[in-house]
Amino acid sequence: MKKSMIIVLAMLLVLSVGVVNAGAVELRVYSMFSGADPASGVYEELIEEFKAEHPEVEIVDESATLDESVKVRIENDFASGNEPDITMYFTDSQAKPIVESGRVTPLDEILANSPEWKNGFLDSVLEQVKYSDGNIYALPITGFYEGLIVNLDLFEEHDVKIPETKEELFAAVETFRANDIVPMAAGLGMTPHYNIEHSILKVGGAAAHDAGIADEINPMWVDGLNHMQELYEADAFQKDTLTQDWSGARQLFKQGRAAMLVEGSWAIADAQNEGANRVTIVPYPKVGENGNQSDLIAGFTSGMYLSKEAYNDDEKQEAVVELLKHLTSKEAIKKIAEANGGLPAADVTPAGLSKPYQDGLEMFKNADHVSLPIDAQIQRPAWQTLVDGVAYIVSGRRSAEDILETVREIELQTR
C-alpha cells in the first residue's frame, strides 16, 4: 500500500473518533415522532422550545421510525444500561423488556408531587398504561381507535347501506363484488391484525376478546376466526390478500378500488388519498349474538419512559423531569393530537380536525366499551403465531381450533 494512502487512513481514523460534547447537561431522547410521522414537526418544535428555555441543556435526539432494528437497539439499550434518558415506547406486552430491565423509574410519586402536571392527564388513560405491577412507568400522549373505514362515494354510488349487522355486511360484499369493486381491502397474509381483533370482538363481545388465551381457548375466538373465513369465501377481500400487508390493502382503498378497510385512526388521512376519497370511520358491524354494535378497539399503548439512572443523577434530575413535563404537558398533547389525529391523553379538544376524524372522535365517545387490541394482552410469540395462521384458516387448510391450540401452547410456554 502506498504511504499516502496510509496517511489518509490515519487521518480518517482520527476524525472518526469524532463528536465530543460540551460540558453542559446532556439528555438523550428517543421518540417515534420522526420522519414520516405526522407529529414529527410538532415534536421538533417542542424540543426547540425546550432548548430555548434551557440553554444549559444539550439534547441528543435519537428519534427514528420504529422498525425492527430500532426495536432491537432499544431493547438492548435497556438490557445493557445504555438507555436514553427519555424513551418513547410501547406500554403493552412489548413493554416487558423495558420495565423488567429495572432501568425505568415508576412515575406515580413524581406525578403526585406535581398535581398540575398529573391533572393534565385523563385518569382513565393513566389507568390504561399502568404496568401489571400496578405502577405507571410511561406517560401517554396520544392514543388510537380502530374501526371500519368506508369509502362514502362508492357506498352512495352503488346505493349500499353502511353495514351495522352481519346480514348488511354480506349484502354489501355481494353488491360490491357484482360491480367489480373489492368489498374489503385487507392484508390477511402479513397484517391481519385489525381483522382478527374486530372479528373476535364483534362475534364474541368484549369479555371474550379481552379473555386472552392462557386459561382456555374461548369458543368465541374460534367463531371469530371462522367469520373471517366466511368473508374470504364470500370473496370479500381482494384476490391477492394472502400475500399482502396493510400497505397493499390501503393502496387499493386509496385508488378507490375497495369500499371498506379495517384500520386505525392513524390510517384515515392516508386513506383519503388527499381528498380523492370521501371517507368516514364506523364501528365494525355486530356479527354474533354476543357482539355489541358500538364496542371498539381503542386505547393508549405507548408512552414516555424515564430512565432511573437519569432521575437518580443529581445533575440531570431537574432537567430531565422538566423535559418530560414539557413533552407531556396538556398543551403538548393537544398539539400532537391535532397533528396526528389521535386520541389526546389529556382533557383537551383538538382543533381543526377534518370531518372523518371528527366522526372518529364521536364514534369513540359513543362506545359502550373499549378494548385494547389482543396483542396488548397475549405474548408476542403467541400473537404472531395467530397472525401467521390466518392465511391457513381462511383458505381452509387448517382449522381455527388447530391454530388456536398451537397459539395457546406457545402462550403458556412464554409465560
Partner 1 sequence: MRSGTYQLLLTFSLEVETIKFKKDKKVIFFFLLPALLFWSIFLFYPILRSFYKTFFFTVHNINPEFIGFGNYIKLFNDPVVWLATKNTFIFMIAAVVFQVGLGILLAIFVDLIKYGKNFFRTTFFFPIVLSAASLGLLFRLLYNYDAGLLNSVLKFFDMDPVLWLDASKALAMVMIPTIWQYVGFYFVIILTALTKIPNALYEVARLEGATTFQRVTKITLPLIIQDIRVTIVLAITGTLKVFDMVWMITAGGPFDSSQVLGTYMYSTVFQRRLFGYGSTIAIFIIVLGVVVTSLTNKFIGDKDVTID
Partner 2 sequence: MKTKFSPKKVLNKVQDYFIEISMTKFVIYMVLIAWASTTILPLLWVANNSFRTTTQIVDAPFSLPDSFNLANYVTATERINILNSYKNSLIMSGTTVLLVLLFGGMAGYAMSRFKFKFRGFINKMIVVALMIPAFVTVVPVYEIFIDLGIVNTYLALILPHTAGNLVFATMMLSAYMSSVSTEIEEAALLDGATRWQIFSRIFVPISRPAFATVGIFTFLWSYNDLFSALVFVPNKSVQPITVLLNQVKSQYGTDLGLQATAVIVTVIPVLLVYIILQKHIIKGLTQGAVKG
Note the residues at the interface with partner 1 (CB under 8 A).
Answer: 68, 71-72, 75-76, 79, 94, 96-97, 100-101, 182, 189-190, 238-240, 242-243, 245, 248, 251-252, 255, 257, 379-381, 384-385, 388, 391-392, 395, 397, 413-414
Q: Where are the beta strands (DSSP E) in 152-189?
A: 182-185
Q: Distance between CA atoms of 124 and 176, rounded to whole angstroms?
A: 40
Answer whether 63's CB lies under 8 Å from 32's CB. yes
Cα atoms found within 13 Å of the Cα of residue 253, Cβ hemisphere only: 34
Q: Distance between CA atoms of 263 and 45, rounded to whole angstroms?
A: 29
Report the partner that residue 15 touches, choosing among partner 1, partner 2, none (CB closer than 5 to 8 A by kind).
partner 2
Nearest CB to partner 1, comparing residues 128 and 379? 379
Q: Distance between CA atoms of 226 and 234, rounded to whole angstroms?
A: 12
Report the partner that residue 349 touches, choosing among partner 2, partner 1, none (CB closer than 5 to 8 A by kind).
none
Query: And the C-alpha cell for 214?
Result: 392462557
- To the nearest whole angstrom, how small is the minimum distance from the Cβ of residue 167 to partner 2? 32
DSSP states along 234-245: TT-B-TTGGG--
Nearest CB to partner 2, comparing residues 14 and 52? 14
- To the nearest whole angstrom, how small is the minimum distance from the Cβ of residue 384 to partner 1? 5
Cα atoms found within 13 Å of the Cα of residue 333, Cβ hemisphere only: 27
Contact set with partner 2 (CB under 8 A):
1, 5-6, 8-9, 12-13, 15-19, 30, 32, 34-38, 60-65, 67, 69-70, 72-73, 76, 80-82, 246-247, 250-251, 254-255, 264, 266-267, 269-270, 273-274, 276, 340
Nearest CB to partner 1, comparing residues 88 and 337? 88
The SS3 assignment for 154 reads helix
Report the partner that residue 104 touches, choosing among partner 2, partner 1, none (CB closer than 5 to 8 A by kind).
none
Nearest CB to partner 1, comparing residues 187 and 285? 187
Answer whether 388's CB lies under 8 Å from 367's CB. no
Report the partner that residue 103 touches, choosing among partner 2, partner 1, none (CB closer than 5 to 8 A by kind).
none
- To the nearest whole angstrom, how small is the minimum distance from the Cβ of residue 334 to partner 2? 19
Nearest CB to partner 1, comparing residues 249 and 345? 249
What b-and-e string marks burial along 192-203, b requiring 16 or more CB atoms within 10 Å of the CB? bbbbbbbbbbbb
Query: And the C-alpha cell for 242?
Result: 394472502
- To the nearest whole angstrom, how small is the minimum distance from the Cβ of residue 82 to partner 2? 4
Nearest CB to partner 1, comparing residues 172 and 258? 258
Nearest CB to partner 1, comparing residues 149 and 319? 149
- Type of residue found at 101: S
The SS3 assignment for 138 reads strand
- To the nearest whole angstrom, how small is the minimum distance from the Cβ of residue 243 to partner 1? 4
Report the partner that residue 347 touches, choosing among partner 1, partner 2, none (CB closer than 5 to 8 A by kind).
none
The residues that bridge with 108 in the sheet, in sequence order, are none
Report the partner that residue 81 touches, choosing among partner 1, partner 2, none (CB closer than 5 to 8 A by kind).
partner 2
Q: Distance between CA atoms of 411 and 389, rounded to whole angstroms?
A: 15
The terminus-to-terminus CA distance of the chain in angstroms comes to 57
- To the nearest whole angstrom, how small is the minimum distance from the Cβ of residue 133 to partner 2? 26
Closest CA to 99 of 127, 128, 133: 133
Nearest CB to partner 2, comparing residues 189 and 264? 264
Q: Distance between CA atoms of 402 and 222, rounded to whole angstroms?
A: 10
- To the nearest whole angstrom, how small is the minimum distance from the Cβ of residue 54 to partner 2? 19
